[in-house]
Amino acid sequence: MITLEWLKALHERHPNALHFGLMHVCFHNKRQLGQAYGARDATKMLSDLPAMLRQSYPRPT
């Protein structure tokens, strides 16, 4: 929470200095994820997620 408050304060003081966004991703619980996809596939999907999000939501220039 401290990081979020710091980013908010920075953005209020310098609105053009930093562009960021927040996204909430819900995976339910580990057991459901493992049962639905298997532990190996679930781990692969979770490790691929950051790159997929960066590709889908590029930083503004």
Contact 7, 37 (CB under 8 A): no
Contacts 24+ apart (CB under 8 A), 52-55: 53/23
Q: How far apart are CA 50 and CA 16, in angstroms?
A: 24
Unique residue bearing structure tokens 């909430």: 24
Largest CA distance in the chain: 47
Predicted TM-score of the model (pTM): 0.48
Which band of pLDDT confidence, cut at 50, 70 and 90, is reported for residue 48?
very high
Residue-range domain boundaries for the chain: 22-61
Question: 26-46 pLDDT, tens per residue?
Answer: 777 778 888 888 888 888 888
Write the single-letter amino acid at 56: S
- Percent of the chain past pLDDT 70, that is, above it, reads 93
